[in-house]
Amino acid sequence: MRHRSLVAHAFRQKALARWENELIGSVVHELIDGFAGRERAELVQELTFRFPVRVIARLLGLPEEDFAQFQRWSVELIGLAADFERGIAASQALRDYFAGVVDDRRRDPRDDVISDLVTAEVDGERLDDEAIYSFLRLLLPAGAETTFRSSGNLLMLLLTHPDQLEAVRDDRSLIPQTVEEGLRCEPPLLIIARSTTRDTELRGVTIPEGAGVGVCIGSANHDEERWQDPERFDIFREPQQHLAFAMGPHMCLGMHLARIETRVLLDAVLDRLPNLRLDPDADDPHVRGLIFRSPNQVPVVFDPA
């Protein structure tokens, strides 16, 4: 909890609000500029996969020329279970890379998140360098992986529910609740691991202290005892707390950033891509995955702006 307190201030909603237009909006519009004139695009590879890593890299204050390598390390680190040695090598490469950046920020703090982490203090305690490296290695894949998937999921949900897409296009005040319903209906991560801290009982099942518990977020977000008609995507449903960002002491630190990123991306897509719709000539896209979940592609067509 002490370490969490030290890093949490950099990801408070108020702290992140300053980045909404000048940084997050700028990244999204730069990427849309690359295909807006074509009247056809594939939104995963050209937009949703690319923008979160760029946002995080800029929040950290990293140079533009390092973005591509940064993303490669991120993908390799996320894929550690599939290729352990490559994942560990990526982890070490990131540690070595961040060591130089952290040293630089200690000498010359800037207006970025790494400087915030270097100077953060709670009750006189600061993060040591290894804790900062570990946090940054966590932030990179966590922020890049989940946000690109959740934004792709939301676009697919809206494109397959054109009446709701049109409602959001006409009334942008619906965007926040649309983002939340997308997270509930198609969370990017379906399963998380937890450990019990004491003997407990859940619906007649005894779970001993220290047991490993696989928590299915996807199932919880579709619990028919909590959600009316839970399989239906409905941006107008009565808002309730979902579990896409988990809950309790491990609740996602990056949830405010993820919400801002998704809100900015959706607003820009609606502004820049008139009459957006799925490409009728492309392969039929679907949301897939048993742990991480998202569409592999979102092929679309749109009218000239």
Q: What is the CATH number of the domain that holds 216?
A: 1.10.630.10
Question: 3-7, 214-218, 263-267: which has the minimum mean pLDDT?
Answer: 3-7
| Beta-bridge partners for 192 | 215
pLDDT, mean over the chain: 89
Q: Are 254 and 11 in contact (CB under 8 A)?
A: yes
Share of the chain above pLDDT 90, in %: 58
Question: 34-38, 78-82, 87-91, 110-114: which has the minimum mean pLDDT?
Answer: 78-82
Q: Considering its fold, how many domains does the chain have in total?
A: 1
Over residues 242-262, the pLDDT tens digits come to 999 988 888 888 888 899 999
Residue 139: HSE in the Cβ half-sphere, 13 Å Cα cutoff: 29
How would you classify the pairing of strands 200-202 and 277-278? unpaired
| DSSP secondary structure code for residue 227 in this structure | S
Tell me if residue 82 falls in helix, strand or coil.
coil
Q: Are 132 and 118 in contact (CB under 8 A)?
A: yes
Is the pLDDT higher at 130 or at 185? 185
> Is the model's pLDDT at 197 over the cut of 80?
yes
Over residues 94-109, the pLDDT tens digits come to 999 999 999 999 999 9
Could you tell me which of 174, 185, 165 has the C-alpha nearest to residue 294? Answer: 185
Please state the pTM of the whole predicted model.
0.89
Q: What single letter denotes the amino acid at residue 63?
A: P
Q: Which range has the top average pLDDT, 24-38, 77-91, 141-155?
A: 24-38
Write down the pLDDT at residue 10. Answer: 66
Q: Where are the beta strands (DSSP E) in the chain?
A: 40-42, 191-195, 200-202, 205-207, 212-216, 277-278, 287-288, 294-295, 299-301
| Beta-bridge partners for 40 | 301
> Is the model's pLDDT at 188 over the cut of 70?
yes
Alpha helices in 186-276 (DSSP H): 217-220, 255-272
Q: Are 284 and 155 in contact (CB under 8 A)?
A: no
Span 274-299, average pLDDT: 93
Give the domain range for residue 66. Answer: 2-301
Q: How far is CA 282 from the centre of its chain?
A: 27
Q: What single letter denotes the amino acid at residue 293?
A: R
Tell me if residue 122 falls in helix, strand or coil.
strand
